Amino acid sequence: MNVEELRRNFPDEASCRAFFESVIWPNGPVCPHCHGKKAWAFRSPKVRAGLYECADCSKQFTVTTKSAFHGTKLSLWIWLQAMYSLIFSSKGASSVFMAQWLGISQKSAWKMLHALRTIMAIHQSALPKLQGIVELDEKYLGGKPRYQPGVKHKRGRGTKKACIAVAVQRQGPVRATLVTGDSLSVLQPLIQKIVSTEAHLMSDELPAYRVIGQDFAAHETVRHGQKEFVRGPVHNNTAESYNALLERAKQGVYHWMSKRHLPLYTSEAAFRWNQRVPVTRTIQRGKHRGKVRTTMKPLPLLEQFKNLLRFAPACQIRRTKNSGIRHLPAAIPLFGL
Ligand SMILES: [Zn+2]
């Protein structure tokens, strides 16, 4: 979908609001104050658009009240465009770019993007356990140490860089989480939580994986130390692809991701990754003619918007006095989170 088609789908603010309401409230309005399901809409032009009054507690609300969009003064059309840009780009979008593109302040754009990334983090945590072949890897993210003549700095493991544990289902979703290190005590409970015990694990030779693998149906390793990266179907290159995306987002767009907000950036890259589905096709021409290939194709953009928006009420975001953001638990508990 290009920008023109986006505008055709959402010609005015009322159509954007109708879309938000249909995704967030598929069965009609739900009061975020008391969870009541009966509410009246105000139709008067004097009242702000989309305002409802709860029949049970008499409090007023809109589709954004007590959600990730709580208290926003920006139009929903601006939010949709921000979602479009964040989802459509391969590496993300910076708040500086977003501010210039949408004609808002950089601070507003930063808060907006973090609200969207928070929803993406919730989307990731609501994914079912990974199944089938699951590749494990770790990614170290951080800046290069200052150049010192004659000193060769260590890379990755054993440095002060942030460690991200990555688990990818082959031709399926990814889960990526910031962890305090790559020790067994850190990785084992995490992998048990996100990967099904029926899964076939594939990893590098990190000693922790050898122990972790014992709890799963099968576990194979590639010996990166001996320059072995693929042994038939045994590799963790899919996980490395996710790592590369994250690295490119850092190098090319964000330049700096604070450890504090890193879980949001990993979730953003994971959301884009997880909006693709495997598509199998038979090659028609060339020397590979007749072979069956499976590639990952992104879902239609409207579907991706829906996948994001339906998690918007699963968190509340408020501004702080020093222009930051504060996360509050969901007003209405959703999806068992
Ligand atoms: Zn109510």
pLDDT category of residue 198 using cuts at 50, 70 and 90: very high
Q: Which two tokens stand for residue 70?
A: 């709580």
pLDDT category of residue 337 using cuts at 50, 70 and 90: very low
Q: Is the distance from CB of 112 to CB of 317 less than 8 angstroms?
A: no
> What is the pLDDT, as a whole number, of residue 335?
43
Q: Which helix (H) or strand (E) holds 256?
A: none
What residues flank ion ligand 1 with Cβ within 5 A?
31, 33-34, 36, 54, 56-57
| Rounded distance from Cα 28 to ligand 1 centre (Å) | 13
From CA 240, how far away is CA 236, in angstroms rounded? 7
Secondary structure (3-state) at 131: coil
pLDDT one-digit tens code per residue, 51-105: 999 999 999 999 999 988 988 889 999 999 999 999 988 888 888 999 999 999 9
| Rounded distance from Cα 18 to ligand 1 centre (Å) | 21
| Rounded distance from Cα 60 to ligand 1 centre (Å) | 8
| Rounded distance from Cα 46 to ligand 1 centre (Å) | 22
From CA 323, how far away is CA 186, in angstroms rounded? 33
| Rounded distance from Cα 145 to ligand 1 centre (Å) | 54
| Rounded distance from Cα 230 to ligand 1 centre (Å) | 58
For CA atoms 173, 179, 183, 184, give the dihedral sign: negative
Q: Is the distance from CB of 239 to CB of 137 less than 8 angstroms?
A: yes
Q: Is the distance from CB of 145 to CB of 175 less than 8 angstroms?
A: no
Domains of the chain as residue ranges with CATH: 3-125+310-328 (no CATH), 133-145+153-259 (3.30.420.10)
pLDDT one-digit tens code per residue, 240-277: 888 888 888 787 777 777 777 888 899 999 999 999 99
Q: Which DSSP state fits 55?
A: T
- DSSP letters, 237-260, are HHHHHHHHHHHHHIIIIIS---TT
